[in-house]
Structure formats: structure tokens, C-alpha cells
Structure 1
Amino acid sequence: MKRLMTLLLSGALFFAVVSCNDDPQPPTPAPDLVQAASAAGLTTLLAAVEAVPGLAGALLNADAITVFAPTNDAFNAALAAFGASNLAELVDAIGGPDNLETVLGFHVVPAVAFSENLNATNTVPTLSGQSLTVNRSGNTVTVIDAAGNTATVISADVEIRNGVVHVIDRVLLPELEMPEVPTPNLVEAATAANLTTLLSAVTAVDGLADALLAADAITVFAPTNDAFGAALEAFNAANLDQLVARIGGLENLQTVLGFHVVPAVAFSGDLAATNTFPTLGGQEITVTRNGNGVTVTDALGNTANVVAADVAIENGVVHVIDGVLLPELTLPNVVEAATAADLTVLLDAVTAAGLGEALLGAEAITVFAPTNDAFVDLLEALNLSSLEELIAELGAEAVTKVLTYHVVPAVAFSFDLEDGAQTVPTLAGENLTVTRTADGVTVTDAGGNTFNVIAADVAIANGVVHVIDGVVLPTLD
């Protein structure tokens, strides 16, 4: 019985199969949107849709849609137009994921429109809330976006389960509301422009960065790294520290940097043909505009070009320039420098020997200047109690020789010295031995006594002063 039932079922199944084979085959179901896009190789479009959470599901479940689907080449052209190298960069360039959703929605009409259903001109709504213009001329269908760009349908009427896809050769752009980009502050703008040397210089001056960030309104003429490189070369400096030393220290660096800052906002479009502006350096610069070109002339008559104009910052604007602007800089003379360092005994000795005018009038000098304590040590060693007793003991001529033995007739900052010992001439007619090591600079006199430079590289009008902790002595008769 059981076997009979099996045969009956088998026969029934056979007849059913034969019967089915005799009937017409059912139509192949249309693909869904994702399947159709995959079959057409629209991988970038699919990646873009997947980047918007929920969008693929919404499109697959929509009642009726017409999709204008850009090719991969169309997306590549959009990447190039926006300066992007991949989809993520394109999303950033158009204003983020929300705007990507708007762009993709701008390609979808919430109704089914095969090409044969189109009029010559059609205005159709899209899921973005903006309308497209679709034109048909013979077998050619084009789509015009919000920017007036025209895309051509290159493969029409790809039926999908809930509508139709038309493949197009361009990404359609709706009107987009770009998110407001925060204006950078001066430090952020300089960092973005890779003005690293300028930032190092500003940081070297205590409080300057904060003062510039807090200023009400500024225009900054910001030198490039190459501009600072040229300034280093001009001053025979290997780095920023050496440049600062040669121009007279941090106070003069502040003057130089302030000379690049105008306490008002001046975009290039605001400039007259010739403009004279005050600066935070206390001196004026001349800014000239000729067509689209802007130049800046410093106190010495040197001209720098604006190579990148109108970089807006929170409290003003930055113009990047190809040169470092130089104000008039004041360096102390040797007497002023010694006074500032409180080298009173040295000054009294120079005055007593009548050497002041000679030192002030020298073309180029390096002075190894003993401290007051250094003179006290010498007096104690000679069992003397005052400078007057020293002069009386040695005689005026010998004192003059001692003092001129501290003066080299050339300019030598500490970083100009070779590593190790070197012999240098002095105004006394005898040589000093100057030694530079990793620990600092020392000076050795004719008697083999060695003293340390305790304050180096004090720039003066005609050279440099190094303060030392001993009095060097030449050969004395």
C-alpha cells in the first residue's frame, strides 16, 4: 500500500512536471536597484549609497523610483573637479555626509519614468527636495542639474523591481548648503601654511604669540621658510638662534617681527596703489598694489612680494611674503653694552686709559670684557685694593696693553669660532688663545691662565662683546 502510494505520487509528480513544462515559462523577475547597479559596474555609486546609513534600504523599499545613475568615470571626473583622490575626500569637499545624501537624493525621482514616457522638456522633483530638468530629443535624453551642468543618458530604461535606472555620464549637483568652516587663528593659519620658522621666531619672544592672538585687528605679512633661509644667509647665520644674536638679541627680534604686523585689517582688495602703514615695530612699511600683485618695502628699501594673499584669520588677515622685512635696528655701542652689563670697573679702566674713543671708532672688534669680580680677583692676586693702585703699580702704558689685550680687531661671535683652540691677534700686539668646546668658550692668556666666557654674543654696533670671569694678561715688562 505504501509502495502504491509512492508510485501514485511519483506519477502525479511526473504529470505535474510535464504539465509545467507544457506551460509558458514565467518572466524573469526584474533586479532590484543594487543588483542592477552591480551588473552595470557602478561600484562608486554603490559605495556612495552605502556611505549614507539606511539609504540603500529606503531606495529598495520605495514604491516607485527613477534613478539617474552616474558611471564610475562620472565620479572620477567629480573627484578631479573637487580636488579629491577618493570618495571620502569628495564627501569632505562637498560638505560632509548630509550633503552626500542630498547629492544622491538629487539623482532619484519618486516616480517611474521610462525614456518613452518623457516629453521634450520635463521638470521633475527629486528625493533631495530640488527639481531636475530632463530633456528628450529623439533617442537622446539629457539631465540638467542645479549648476546648469548637463549629463547625458548613455544607457536608458534598465528596469528594476520598483522602477527604472538610466545610466548617466556625469554626477548631478544640487544646490548645497556648505557647513561654515571656522576661521583659523594666526598660529593655526601659519601652521597650515607650513611657516615653521616664523612660528619658531614668534615663540622665541615671550608673550608675543598671545599678544597677536588677542589683538583686535591685525594684518600679518608672514615670511616663508625660504624667506627666513635667505635672511640667515644674508646674516651669515646657520639657524634662528644665530640670526637673533647677530641682530642684537630677542628685543630686536621682537622689533623685526612687529615690523611685519599692521594693527588693522587690510585685505588685498582694500589696498590703494600705494599705502603707508604703521606697524607694531614702531616703524612704517610701504605696501604697493599693481593689478593683482602686492609688494611690501621695508625700512632699508628691500622689496618682498606677496605670494599668497588674503588668508583670513580670526582677528584679521595674513599675506604670505617671500622676504623678511627689516626695520631700522639699533645696536648699543661698546660703552652702552658694558654699562648695561654693569661692568663698571672695566669702564673706569677704559676711561682712565683714554681708550673709549678708539674702541667706539674701530671698524670691527670682539671684546672679551672682564666682570667686576674678575678685576677684584686680579687686585687680590697682586695684593692691591683699587684700580688706582693697579694703574700706579703697572703704569699707564701697561694698563693700556692689558686692556687692548682683551680686544680682537675682527668680529667673532661664539658660533663663528672653530671647534678647539685657535690663536687670535689683539690690539695689544700679542695673541690670545680662544678655545671652543661643547661646554663653552674659554680664553687663555700669555701666562697660561684660562678664563670662561660667561655671557656670549652681545652684539654691539661695531662687533660683539663676550663677558669673561677673569682679566687676561699679556706679557708685561
Structure 2
Amino acid sequence: MKKLFNLLLLGTFVLFAVSCQEDEPAPQPAPDLVQAANAAGLTTLLAAVDAVPSLGSTLLGAPAITVFAPTNQAFTNALTAFEATDLNDLVSKLGGVQNLEIVLGFHVVPAVAFAADLNATNSFTTVSGQTLTVSRTGGSVTITDATGGTANVVTADVEIANGVVHVIDRVLLPEIELPTEPAPNLVDAATSAGLTTLLAAVGAVDGLGGTLLGLDAITVFAPSNEAFAAALTAFGAADLGQLVTKIGGVGNLETVLGFHVVPAVAFSTDLAATNTFTTVSGQEITVNVSGSNVTVTDAAGNTANVVTPNVAIENGVVHVIDRVLLPELELPNVVEAATAAGLTVLLDAVTAANLGGALLEAEAITVFAPRNEAFVALLEELDVEGLAGLIELLGAEAVTKVLQFHVVPAVAFSFDLDEGTQTVPTLAGENLTVTRTGSNVTVTDAAGAVYNVVIADVAIENGVVHVIDGVLLPTLE
């Protein structure tokens, strides 16, 4: 009986033990890396891992890993730092999927290291083959990457099936060769710098932009908009078009612009204390360096300061300057201009009156130059044969006065004239009436005859010539 009782007691104990074991939950296996990242909301990290073929399976299959896992905000900050719009753009700016794999591998150590396992300073070789430094101070853990950037562990010791995850607040950067942005061309650089007047000037010279873009090597001393504005003021021009007219036309504009371009690459660090460069225009400029200051001296001895140096472009460098550089410009004298315009009768008359020297030597003149047809009409009106007949009829002194009546001892381009009527003195000692109506200019002589300017604003070395369709007559005794 006692033996039976003992057996029953033993059976009851066994049943009780089995019952207790059935009530206790079985221990749950640790999540794998993907499950842990999903649980932590690390969606950007997961997307990045998926972008590298087979990386996810490699990490899941590794025997032992410690993962420093950046938060979504850490990736957002990385997008901002790399000026990327999204993860795909970030991958492109890192240099492609191969470099992304290096970056992600730099966050994984092929060993298990819980926070409690760490020394004060630890050096780990990562899956990427590069080393990162992990530091522990009390309960705080930080990681330093190859750039010296520091990430903080914000959630430590998330156990996974094959190791541990520490969530961090920064994307760690290894040593990688980042793709270099291609340097802009000259036009793009000038556009970015807001050099709109320079661009307009280059655009005014047919083919110049293409020529500069096609040169193998250039250094451009590029005047700012303010520099061009100062040049407009100095030349009394209201806009770029008037400035081009006053310097003698598009041909001289090309010379001016070429004077700002050296056919070689010279960053400020390449310069000696004093440098002489032959420009694209064939004329020389002098560039001086004093400390961090760089100046450029033009043909007239004027000095410009480099205000923004070393803007790299695809075929050289741009230095922004605060003054328009002026080369020696070729302008015709009054005789050359009249010859080019075919004003043969006027030239014969000037020669006969011995006025050529006076006009060439005058400091500043505006010449209203009658075309040949105007002299022919005057001769017909006076019923005389040729210039000799005119001199015989009026006398040499009177013919000289007629010619002087066409010359104003000051420079007046058409756009310099006031709107409406004005009187201007002439070399004849008698005033001439000039009227501007918009872009049209007329001149009125002493007898009230009105003639039109048919070709305006021919710049000469000491002034300007306007071709007119009549011969102006002063008061003749």
C-alpha cells in the first residue's frame, strides 16, 4: 500500500512538472538584420542595402556582425550634405553602386560587439576593409569615420540572429573616390557669376563665343557688370550699343574683349610677383601679385583689381575684375574715314582749302560730311563746273568758310544730342542748327536749308563723322 502511494505521488509530481513546462512560453529567436531594421523603421537603410545586389543576403549569412545602422534622418542629412534629391541621386553623387557598397560595408564590423564589450577606444576593421574608431564614455558610444565626422549611438544593443545592431544618427563616410563635377564652360561660369553685360558683349561679336569655348587653354579677366557700367559712364554711353559705337564698332569691341583673354591657364597661385601676358588681341597686359591681391594693368596704364579669383572652367580659369581693360584701339582719322566712305569731292575740297592738317590735329571734332551727290547738286544749283568753278564763283576764302561750317569743335555722336533742336558752334565762327527726332538727325544751314544725316556715328580718332545729303552754306558776303 505504501509503495502504491509513492507511485501515485511520483506520477502526480511528473504531471505537475509537465503541466508547468507547458504553461511557460518557449524562448523567441532573435530577429535577423532585416527584421530588426524594419522594426526600427530604418527604411532608407533597407532601400540602400537593396540597391546593392546580394548585399542583404551576404549580411544575413555572415556568421557574426555588428551593424552601425543610420536612421532615416541621418540619410536625410546626408542627402542635404551631398545636395542630392533622393537616394538614387545620392548613389550617383557617391560615384555609383560600387561606392555605395563601400559606404554600407563601412557600417558593418565582422564581429559581435555589444556596448558592454567596448573599451574606451576601439579600432575596428569593417567589411569594406577600412577602419573606424568607436569610443565609449560611460553609457555614450560614438563612432568616428574616415572624414573625422562623428556619429552618436542613439539606440544600442539591438540583438539580431547573427550579431547586434547599434542605431546611429549619422551616415559614416569611408575613404572613397567621389566623382568630380565637370567644370562649367566660360558661358556657364559667366552666367552663374551674373556677368550679363560681358555675355552680351561677347554675343555682339559674331563667332567670338564659339572661338573662346573652343580654345585649348584660356585665362579670362572678366569685367563685372559694375565695371562695364563704369566704362559706359567714362565714354558717355547709355548702353552697350552706344559704347561699341564710340570705340569704333564691333571690330574694336572684339579687340577689347580679346584683350581680356590670355591663351594659357593661369590660376592666381601660378603667378609670379610680376607677369606679362600676350592676350588673344595680340597686345600685352601686366599682372601683378602682392600677397592675396592680384591686379591687371592695361595699355593705358589703368589698373583693375581681381575681385573673384580662380573660377575654374573646362578649358581654363576666370578671374572677375572691377574694370574694363582698354587696349590700343585703331580708329581711322578723318581723311581715312572720308576715303573709306567714298567722299572724294569733300576730300578734294579739303585739300584745296588746305584744311586737312587742321582737322587731323584738332583735339575733338564732329564733321557733317556731304556725300558726293550733295556737291554735285550744289554745283548744278550754282551752274558751275566742278570744284574749280565753285572756288572761282565764291572765292577761296568763302569755300574755306563753307567747309569749316561743316565742322563742330566737339565730339557729338547722334545719341549725345538732345532731343529736339539745338545750335552748335562751328569752325566757321557761325552756329549750325541740329535737330534730333528719335534716331533721325537733321542739320539746318544759314539759309534755312535742311539736310539729313544719312550715315551717323562713324568714329574717328579725334571725334565722329556724320554723312549728310546736302552741302551746308553759312552766311556768305
2:84 and 2:228 mapped to 1: Cα distance? 33
State the Cα distance separating 1:156 from its structure 2 match: 0.8
Q: For residues 114-147 of structure 1, what are the alpha-carbon distances to aligned partners after superposition, in whole Å with 9 as ceiling and x for unaligned?
A: 3235566252423x56443434455333322122
Contact 1:48 / 1:87 at 8 angstroms: preserved in 2? Answer: no
Q: Secondary structure at the match of 2:242?
A: helix
Give the letter aligned to residue 178 of structure 1. Answer: L
2:132 and 2:259 mapped to 1: Cα distance? 55
State the Cα distance separating 1:357 from its structure 2 match: 2.9
Pair 79,161 (structure 1): closer, same or farther in 2 beyond 3 Å: same
Q: For residues 11-68 of structure 1, what are the alpha-carbon distances to aligned partners after superposition, in whole Å with 9 as ceiling and x for unaligned?
A: xxxxxxxx9xx94567899693454443xxx7xxx45764786469965995266442
Q: Which residue of 1 aligns with 2:103?
A: 103
State the Cα distance separating 1:166 from its structure 2 match: 1.8
Contact 1:218 / 1:261 at 8 angstroms: preserved in 2? Answer: yes
Q: Which residue of 2 aligns with 1:9?
A: none
Q: Which residue of 2 aligns with 1:123?
A: 124
Equivalent residue for 2:60, pick from 59, 63, 66: 63
Q: Secondary structure at the match of 1:63?
A: helix
TM-score, normalised on structure 1? 0.81
2:417 and 2:292 mapped to 1: Cα distance? 47
2:332 is equivalent to residue 367 of structure 1: no
Give the letter aligned to residue 35 of structure 2. Answer: D
Q: Which residue of 2 aligns with 1:7?
A: none
State the Cα distance separating 1:308 from its structure 2 match: 2.6
Q: Which residue of 1 aligns with 2:455?
A: 455
Q: Secondary structure at the match of 1:32?
A: helix
Contact 1:366 / 1:412 at 8 angstroms: preserved in 2? Answer: yes
Pair 48,331 (structure 1): closer, same or farther in 2 beyond 3 Å: farther
2:419 and 2:136 mapped to 1: Cα distance? 84
Q: Which residue of 1 aligns with 2:441?
A: 441
Q: Which residue of 2 aligns with 1:13?
A: none
Q: Which residue of 2 aligns with 1:204?
A: 204
Q: Which residue of 1 aligns with 2:270?
A: 270
Q: Secondary structure at the match of 1:238?
A: coil
1:302 and 1:172 mapped to 2: Cα distance? 53
2:248 is equivalent to residue 245 of structure 1: no
Contact 2:49 / 2:56 at 8 angstroms: preserved in 1? Answer: no
1:252-331 to structure 2, matched below 5 A, reads 252-331=252-331
1:131-210 to structure 2, matched below 5 A, reads 131-136=131-136, 138-159=138-159, 164-210=164-210
State the Cα distance separating 1:449 from its structure 2 match: 3.3
Q: Which residue of 1 aligns with 2:35?
A: 32
Q: Secondary structure at the match of 2:329?
A: coil
State the superposition RMSD in angstroms: 3.6
Q: Which residue of 2 aligns with 1:420?
A: 420
1:229 and 1:102 mapped to 2: Cα distance? 53
Q: Secondary structure at the match of 1:285?
A: strand
Pair 100,233 (structure 1): closer, same or farther in 2 beyond 3 Å: farther
Q: For residues 155-179 of structure 1, what are the alpha-carbon distances to aligned partners after superposition, in whole Å with 9 as ceiling and x for unaligned?
A: 2123567764323243311122222
Pair 116,47 (structure 1): closer, same or farther in 2 beyond 3 Å: same
Pair 424,160 (structure 1): closer, same or farther in 2 beyond 3 Å: farther
Q: Secondary structure at the match of 2:346?
A: helix
1:160 and 1:444 mapped to 2: Cα distance? 101
Contact 1:333 / 1:460 at 8 angstroms: preserved in 2? Answer: yes
2:421 is equivalent to residue 406 of structure 1: no
2:435 and 2:24 mapped to 1: Cα distance? 106
Pair 27,316 (structure 1): closer, same or farther in 2 beyond 3 Å: same
Pair 278,150 (structure 1): closer, same or farther in 2 beyond 3 Å: same
2:445 and 2:374 mapped to 1: Cα distance? 14
Contact 1:142 / 1:152 at 8 angstroms: preserved in 2? Answer: yes
Give the letter aligned to residue 60 of structure 2. Answer: D
2:162 and 2:229 mapped to 1: Cα distance? 66
TM-score, normalised on structure 2? 0.81
After the TM superposition, which of the residue ranges 190-199 and 290-299 deviates more from structure 2? Answer: 190-199
Q: For residues 380-429 of structure 1, what are the alpha-carbon distances to aligned partners after superposition, in whole Å with 9 as ceiling and x for unaligned?
A: 33333412222222322332232222222221111112233333333334
1:450 and 1:121 mapped to 2: Cα distance? 98
1:387-402 to structure 2, matched below 5 A, reads 387-402=387-402
1:27 and 1:224 mapped to 2: Cα distance? 75
State the Cα distance separating 1:110 from its structure 2 match: 6.3
Q: Which residue of 2 aligns with 1:357?
A: 357
1:183 and 1:86 mapped to 2: Cα distance? 21
Q: Secondary structure at the match of 2:60?
A: coil
2:366 and 2:76 mapped to 1: Cα distance? 66
2:471 is equivalent to residue 471 of structure 1: yes
Contact 2:145 / 2:172 at 8 angstroms: preserved in 1? Answer: yes
State the Cα distance separating 1:101 from its structure 2 match: 5.7
State the Cα distance separating 1:91 from its structure 2 match: 2.9
State the Cα distance separating 1:369 from its structure 2 match: 0.9
Q: For residues 433-459 of structure 1, what are the alpha-carbon distances to aligned partners after superposition, in whole Å with 9 as ceiling and x for unaligned?
A: 323334532323344433332222122
Pair 216,87 (structure 1): closer, same or farther in 2 beyond 3 Å: closer
The alignment covers a number of residue pairs equal to 450
1:435 and 1:362 mapped to 2: Cα distance? 24
Pair 341,134 (structure 1): closer, same or farther in 2 beyond 3 Å: same
Give the letter aligned to residue 395 of structure 1. Answer: G
Pair 51,456 (structure 1): closer, same or farther in 2 beyond 3 Å: farther
Give the letter aligned to residue 228 of structure 1. Answer: F
2:92 and 2:358 mapped to 1: Cα distance? 68
Q: Which residue of 1 aligns with 2:11?
A: none
Contact 1:32 / 1:161 at 8 angstroms: preserved in 2? Answer: no
Identity of aligned residues (%): 67
Q: Secondary structure at the match of 2:176?
A: coil
Q: For residues 173-225 of structure 1, what are the alpha-carbon distances to aligned partners after superposition, in whole Å with 9 as ceiling and x for unaligned?
A: 11222224334443333333332222222232233333333434332222222
State the Cα distance separating 1:78 from its structure 2 match: 5.0
1:405 and 1:201 mapped to 2: Cα distance? 37
2:385 and 2:48 mapped to 1: Cα distance? 89
2:440 and 2:25 mapped to 1: Cα distance? 98
Uncovered stretches (5+) of structure 1, i.e. residues with no partner: 1-18
2:50 and 2:454 mapped to 1: Cα distance? 68
Contact 2:367 / 2:464 at 8 angstroms: preserved in 1? Answer: yes
Pair 230,95 (structure 1): closer, same or farther in 2 beyond 3 Å: farther
